[in-house]
């Protein structure tokens, strides 16, 4: 009942993990020219590691992408954290608490991966807080009811998995390894969301209506998580050549829609798209595209919760200053006593 279409995706994560381990032992006859070495490693599907030379643009692209991903994990704790104290039972509360904690852990793995590229976590947090770096626009939508927690797990974590499974094969080693761990945990998040919606949609008519309303509001923003259409995507081509990105935004979006249709049937909930239909010729579902103008507006800061999310993040950062200072003072003391 868990919409186990995600099982093949998890197999892909396992196979990426096996390939990653094997690639490390493979002999590659690369020249001594730095660019040549880099190109050969990428072409052989081996991993570029922090010690290796890499083109400056590759490093910058990765810092931008990994940082944006890390920020999304941390900001993404807010919409669901909003429901921890109001979860309908102790069991639901414990599960949600664990899930939100997982997201903090994902942020940590990713900040650590970004740090291997020569940027500090402090700098990254600063860039988030002063708006130089972004986070996923999906977290600028409000969670109005308990069913939203289900819809986020099913759709938002579901879309995240579809986006992130190919990143397990990313050419940069620390990012690929972080993604393998993240994807394994995300599959649990997707299932808990599916299970919440399944319970509601098989409950009272009011509960079912609440579940449907949540899916109605989260469907299109979830489709927009895959980014602008391929025709407008600015960073794609080079990222593909560097094997950071493996599939285009539109390919991944289509994959996600195809997976959701069957799951919505099991849930007995309607996908809010009157034009959704099986396209025999293409072997995929035809669907209505999300409103990309809205996506751009939300990215630029004009979503329903942008200000609130950033204000909360800033406050949390300021409130945590004493912890950072204490940790630094303690590290300083230990260093002194080690001399």
Contact partners, residue 309, CB within 8 Å, separation at least 6? 75, 78, 139, 140
299: DSSP letter: I
* Alpha-carbon 37 to chain mean position: 31
Nearer to Fe ion, 17 or 157 (CB): 157
Closest by CA to 161, choosing from 137, 138, 185, 139, is: 185
Is residue 31 classed as helix, strand or coil in its secondary structure? coil
**Shortest reach from residue 160's CB to Fe ion, in Å:** 6
The SS3 call for residue 277 is: strand
- Nearest to Fe ion of 54, 152 (CB atom): 152
What is the contact surface with Fe ion in residues (CB under 5 A)?
73, 103, 106, 157, 186, 189
Least Å from the CB of residue 76 to Fe ion:
7
Helices (H), the chain: 7-25, 34-43, 56-75, 77-81, 90-115, 121-129, 146-151, 158-164, 173-201, 205-224, 236-241, 249-267, 292-297, 306-319, 321-338
* Least distance to Fe ion, CB of residue 136, Å: 10
User: Residue 135 or residue 242: which is nearer to Fe ion going by CB?
Assistant: 135
By beta-carbon proximity to Fe ion, the closer residue of 73 and 115 is 73
Min separation Cβ 29 and Fe ion, Å: 39
Phi/psi-derived region of residue 288, left when phi > 0, alpha when psi is between -120 and 50, beta in every other case: beta
**Smallest distance, Fe ion to C-beta of residue 157, A:** 4
The least CB distance from residue 65 to Fe ion, in Å, is 15
Q: Report, in Å, the least distance between residue 176 CB and Fe ion.
A: 16
Of the pair 41, 87, the CB lying nearest Fe ion is at: 87
- Which one, 17 or 186, has the nearer CB to Fe ion? 186
Q: Which is nearer to Fe ion, 106 or 191 (CB)?
A: 106
Q: How far apart are CA 36 and CA 40, in angstroms?
A: 6
Q: What tokens were used for 114?
A: 């970004």
Q: What is the per-residue burial (b if ≥16 Cβ within 10 Å, else e) of 226-241?
A: bbbeeeebeebeebee
């Amino acid at each position: 009942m868990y919409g186990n279409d995600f099982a093949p995706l998890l197999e892909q994560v396992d196979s990426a993990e096996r390939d990653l381990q094997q690639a490390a032992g493979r002999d590659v006859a690369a020249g001594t020219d730095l660019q040549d070495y880099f190109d050969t490693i990428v072409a052989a599907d081996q991993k570029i590691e922090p010690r290796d030379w890499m083109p400056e643009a590759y490093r910058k692209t990765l810092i931008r992408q990994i940082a944006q991903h890390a920020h999304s994990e941390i900001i993404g704790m807010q919409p669901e954290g909003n429901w921890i104290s109001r979860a309908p039972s102790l069991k639901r509360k414990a599960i949600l608490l664990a899930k939100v904690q997982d997201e903090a852990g994902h942020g940590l793995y990713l900040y650590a991966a970004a740090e291997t590229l020569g940027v500090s976590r402090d700098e990254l947090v600063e860039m988030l807080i002063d708006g130089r770096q972004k986070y996923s626009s999906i977290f600028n939508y409000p969670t109005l009811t308990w069913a939203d927690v289900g819809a986020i797990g099913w759709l938002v974590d579901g879309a995240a998995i579809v986006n992130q499974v190919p990143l397990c094969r990313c050419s940069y080693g620390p990012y690929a390894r972080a993604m393998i761990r993240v994807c394994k945990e995300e599959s649990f998040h997707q299932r808990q969301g599916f299970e919440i919606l399944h319970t509601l949609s098989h409950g009272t008519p009011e509960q079912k209506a609440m579940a449907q309303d949540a899916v109605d509001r989260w469907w299109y923003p979830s489709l927009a998580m895959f980014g602008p259409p391929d025709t407008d995507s600015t960073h794609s081509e080079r990222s593909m050549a560097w094997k950071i990105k493996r599939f285009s935004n539109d390919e991944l979006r289509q994959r996600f829609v195809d997976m959701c249709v069957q799951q919505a049937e099991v849930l007995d909930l309607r996908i809010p798209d009157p034009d959704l239909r099986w396209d025999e010729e293409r072997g995929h579902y035809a669907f209505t595209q999300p409103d990309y103008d809205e996506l751009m507006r939300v990215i630029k800061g004009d979503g329903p919760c942008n200000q609130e999310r950033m204000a909360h993040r800033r406050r949390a950062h300021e409130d945590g200053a004493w912890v950072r200072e204490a940790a630094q003072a303690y590290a300083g003391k230990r260093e002194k006593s080690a001399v």
